[in-house]
Amino acid sequence: MNENEKYLRTLARQFPTEQAAATEIINLQSILSLPKGTEHFLTDIHGEVEQFQHVLKNGSGTVKRKVEAVIGQKKPGSYKRQLTTLIYYPKEKLEIIRAEMNPGQMDEWYMETLQYLVDVVKRVSSKYTRSKVRRAIPEEYRYVIEELITEKEEIYDKERYYKEIIRSIIDIGVADSVIITLCNLIQRMVVDHLHIVGDIYDRGPGPHLIMDTLCDYHSVDIVWGNHDVVWMGAACGNAACIANVIRMSVRYGNLSVIEDGYGINLIPLAAFAMKQYEGADLSRFHLKENNRGEFFDLSEVESRMYKAITMIQFKLEAQLIRRNPDFEMDDQILLNQIDFSKKTVRCGDREYAMLDCDFPTVNPADPYALTTEEEQVVSQLIYGFTNSEKLKKHVRLLYEKGAMYRVYNGNIMYHGCVPLKEDGSFADSNVGGSTHRGKALYDLLEEYARKGFYAPFGSPEQIKGGDILWYLWCGPKSPSYGRSKMTTFERLFIEEEETHKETKDPYYRFIENDEEVAGNILKEFGLNPDSSHIINGHVPVETKKGQTPIRAGGKVLMIDGGFSKAYHAKTGIAGYTLAIDSHGMWLVEHEQFESKEEAVRRETDIVSDTLTVENFPRRMYVEDTDNGKRLKEEIADLKELLAAYRSGELEKL
Is 309 part of a structural domain of the chain? yes
pLDDT digits (tens, 9 = 90+) for 41-71: 999 999 999 889 988 998 888 898 899 999 9
Same domain flag for 436 and 384? yes
Would you place residue 591 in the very low, low, confident or very high pLDDT band (cuts 50, 70, 90)? confident
In 314-465, where do the E strands start and end? 338-339, 344-347, 350-353, 402-403, 405-408, 411-414
Is 538 part of a structural domain of the chain? no
Would you place residue 9 in the very low, low, confident or very high pLDDT band (cuts 50, 70, 90)? confident
Closest by alpha carbon to 332, among 342, 345, 344? Answer: 345
pLDDT digits (tens, 9 = 90+) for 129-183: 888 999 999 999 999 999 888 876 566 677 788 889 999 999 999 999 999 999 9
Query: DSSP readout, 606-622?
Result: -EEEEEEEEE-SS--BG
Rounded distance between C-alpha atoms, residue 222 and residue 231, angstroms: 14
Would you place residue 255 in the very low, low, confident or very high pLDDT band (cuts 50, 70, 90)? very high
Same domain flag for 389 and 489? yes
Q: Which residue range forms the structural domain that includes residue 331? A: 226-498
CB 576 within 8 A of CB 587: yes
Average pLDDT, stretch 259-285? 96
pLDDT digits (tens, 9 = 90+) for 558-585: 987 566 665 555 544 567 889 999 999 9
Rounded distance between C-alpha atoms, residue 97 and residue 598, angstroms: 15
Same domain flag for 243 and 185? no
Would you place residue 542 in the very low, low, confident or very high pLDDT band (cuts 50, 70, 90)? low
Which residues have a Cβ under 8 Å from the Cβ of 492 and sit 6 or more positions away? 284, 310, 355, 356
What ranges in 219-324 are assigned the alpha helix state H? 226-235, 239-251, 255-256, 267-276, 300-322
Q: What share of the chain is helix, strand, coil (3-state, %, to 5)?
A: 55, 10, 35
Query: Number of C-alpha atoms within 13 angstroms, CB side, residue 643?
Result: 7
Rounded distance between C-alpha atoms, residue 546 and residue 83, angstroms: 35
Would you place residue 247 in the very low, low, confident or very high pLDDT band (cuts 50, 70, 90)? very high
Is 619 part of a structural domain of the chain? no
Q: What is the pLDDT of residue 652?
A: 55
Is 527 part of a structural domain of the chain? no
Average pLDDT, stretch 108-126? 94
Closest by alpha carbon to 402, among 189, 188, 201, 550? Answer: 201
Is 150 part of a structural domain of the chain? yes
Given 498, 519, 536, the domain boundary residue is 498
Would you place residue 588 in the very low, low, confident or very high pLDDT band (cuts 50, 70, 90)? confident
Domain count, the chain: 3
pLDDT digits (tens, 9 = 90+) for 362-380: 999 999 999 999 999 999 9
Q: What secondary structure letter does DSSP report for 540? A: -
User: Is residue 93's pLDDT more than 70?
Assistant: yes
Same domain flag for 64 and 30? no
Rounded distance between C-alpha atoms, residue 565 and residue 592, angstroms: 8
Is 562 part of a structural domain of the chain? no
